[in-house]
Amino acid sequence: MIHDKSKAAFEAAKKVIPGGVDSPVRAFKSVGGTPVFIDRGEGAYLIDIDGNRYIDFVQSWGPLIFGHCDADIETAVIESAKKGLSFGAPTVVETALAEEIVDLFDTIDKVRFVSSGTEAVMSAIRLARGFTGRDDIVKFEGCYHGHSDSLLVQAGSGAVTFGTPSSPGVPADLTKHTLLAKYNDLKSVEKCFTDAPDSIACVIIEPIAGNMGLVPAQEAFLQGLRDLCDKHGALLIFDEVMSGFRASLKGAQGIYSVKPDLVTLGKVIGGGMPVGAFGGREEIMNQLSPDGPVYQAGTLSGNPVAMSAGLASLRKLKSDPSVYTSMEQKATLLVEGFKTAAAANGITLQIDVRGSMFGFFFNDHEVLSFDDALKSDTELFAKFHQGMLNEGVYFACSQFETGFISTAITEEMIFSVIDKAQKVFKDIS
Ligand code: HOZ
């Protein structure tokens, strides 16, 4: 495959954009080679500026559950854009999208929209602190909640990919309020509460972690978090920016029985446009300004074009929830095919699937935590990534990310990807 134009575009970008990218994970640093510069998407495919086509398992890191250029979402965006791009004033489409979310999530009475997942989580944390009158938060190693200061501590996603899970530039005075615990390890959370019994405002978790690779929480562990939070008067926040409308129509909450106090959303609720949201029980959400004292704001929050894209996506998902079963079947087919093909070449993969999310670790042992994920063979992953890219298959360029199925991906495509993987596993073993 020829990537000459992408290589030239990357050189040009590096002169004027740090690292040539606007988000570090895109730079392909951990897998080698040059990032491909995208010209356009078409359903299940990405087409780069050299004209190469790839089956896309990244989907803009999750939002594009219907693939690229879905006709209904495109129409909603175009119709909305024709009426004006932004008003900085309320529109009825915000209420309509909020109503859909409140209808689907029993844990959300009210929801506020922002422009990114980072903002959603940052705001939810402030609200939890304001509501409880406490400063400390508990987060888990390997969970990534965006790049705001108090959450960029032992974080997953690009932060771990580039070996800076805790970033310079974050004042120690701020991170002293971030207590760290181990994913799927209740004892480590109990220790946080023993050390700081009355000062923890909230425990925040990706109930289906997607930023250290795919690592779902165990039900008993989540229940243990719920019990500890209740015992100590802390709030439980589910960060469902990634799993919301991805793991199921109700996100992780459609799979687990444990209920959070606050939920953060993003990605799918914007249909590909920049959107985040946080919501929860009325008594908590009413603490937000202008009804309450906790300040939070945004000039472009609830942007009508983004809200229209999100509304079209959610209504389409609600009208046919069977798409989740079919995406889960395809995801399972894919990773089981990979596991078998890898094993035939002496490579052990750990695989997992939750709805339209899938993961595969080059790892001999079960992955339940960040420590386990870090034991993966990232060099082998890099070789696999390069091999598959050359075969026209686009995976996230890090072992510590999740893969996504879209409704545009067919079973025939999955079989063809497994065939290509068989060849690549053979080459790299
Ligand atoms: N895992 C990241 C988002 N949840 C990838 C996207 C990015 O950092 O640009």
Which ligand 1 atom minimizes the distance to the CA of 241? 4
pLDDT of 155 over the 80 cut: no
Of 28, 30, 157, the one to substitute when testing ligand 1's pocket (max ligand atoms within 8 A of C-beta) is 157
Q: What is the mean pLDDT of residues 148-165?
A: 75
Report strand pairing: 110-114 vs 38-42: unpaired
CA of 401 to the centre of ligand 1 (A): 8
pLDDT in tens, 32-46: 989 999 999 999 999
pLDDT in tens, 44-57: 999 999 999 999 99
pLDDT of 10 over the 80 cut: yes
* pLDDT for position 237: 98
Sole residue written with tokens 């890219």: 389
* pLDDT for position 172: 80
Query: Whose Cα sits closest to atom 6 in ligand 1?
Result: 61
For Cα atoms 298, 21, 121, give the angle at the middle one, nearest 5 degrees.
Answer: 35
CA of 216 to the centre of ligand 1 (A): 18
CA of 193 to the centre of ligand 1 (A): 30
User: Tokens standing for 168?
Assistant: 């310079």
Q: What is the mean pLDDT of residues 114-122?
A: 98
Give the whole-angstrom CA distance, residue 11 versus residue 17: 10
HSE (side-chain half, CA atoms, 13 Å) at 321: 9
CATH of 71-319, one of 3.40.640.10, 2.60.40.1120, 3.90.105.10, 3.30.420.40: 3.40.640.10
User: Tokens standing for 31?
Assistant: 């897998």
CA of 158 to the centre of ligand 1 (A): 7
Q: What is the mean pLDDT of residues 112-122?
A: 98
For Cα atoms 202, 208, 214, give the angle at the middle one, nearest 5 degrees.
Answer: 135
What CATH number is given for 4-69+322-428 in this structure? 3.90.1150.10
Which residues, including other chains, have CB under 8 Å from residue 209's CB and lie 6 or more apart?
Answer: 140, 142, 143, 156, 183, 215, 216, 217
* pLDDT for position 163: 58
Of 38, 144, 402, the one to substitute when testing ligand 1's pocket (max ligand atoms within 8 A of C-beta) is 144
Identify residue 162 by its one-letter amino acid code: F
pLDDT in tens, 349-383: 999 999 999 999 999 999 999 999 999 999 999 99
Which ligand 1 atom minimizes the distance to the CA of 26? 9
Of 25, 57, 162, 265, the one to substitute when testing ligand 1's pocket (max ligand atoms within 8 A of C-beta) is 25
Active-site annotation, residues: 144, 239, 267
CA of 212 to the centre of ligand 1 (A): 11
Residue among 399, 423, 223, 414 at smallest CA distance from 335: 414
Give the whole-angstrom CA distance, residue 73 versus residue 76: 5
pLDDT in tens, 225-284: 999 999 999 999 999 999 999 999 999 999 999 999 999 999 999 999 999 999 999 999
Query: Whose Cα sits closest to atom 3 in ligand 1?
Result: 61
**Ligand 1 pocket, CB under 6 A:** 23, 25, 61, 144, 157-158, 211, 242, 401
* pLDDT for position 135: 95
Q: What is the mean pLDDT of residues 179-185?
A: 96
Which ligand 1 atom minimizes the distance to the CA of 157? 1
What are the structural domain ranges in the chain?
A: 4-69+322-428, 71-319
Of 23, 26, 64, the one to substitute when testing ligand 1's pocket (max ligand atoms within 8 A of C-beta) is 23
For Cα atoms 154, 159, 161, give the angle at the middle one, nearest 5 degrees.
Answer: 115
CA of 115 to the centre of ligand 1 (A): 15
Kindly report the number of other CB atoms within 10 A of residue 206's CB atom.
27
* pLDDT for position 158: 72
Q: Output the furthest CA–CA distance in the chain (Å, rounded).
A: 61
Which ligand 1 atom minimizes the distance to the CA of 242? 4
CB 401 within 8 A of CB 210: yes
pLDDT of 290 over the 80 cut: yes
pLDDT of 11 over the 90 cut: yes
CA of 156 to the centre of ligand 1 (A): 9
Work out the burial of residue 73: count CB atoms within 10 Å of its CB; fewer than 13 is exposed, 13-18 middle, 19 or more buried: buried
- Cα–Cα distances (Å) from 277 to 302, 305, 311, 401, in that order, read 9, 15, 13, 22
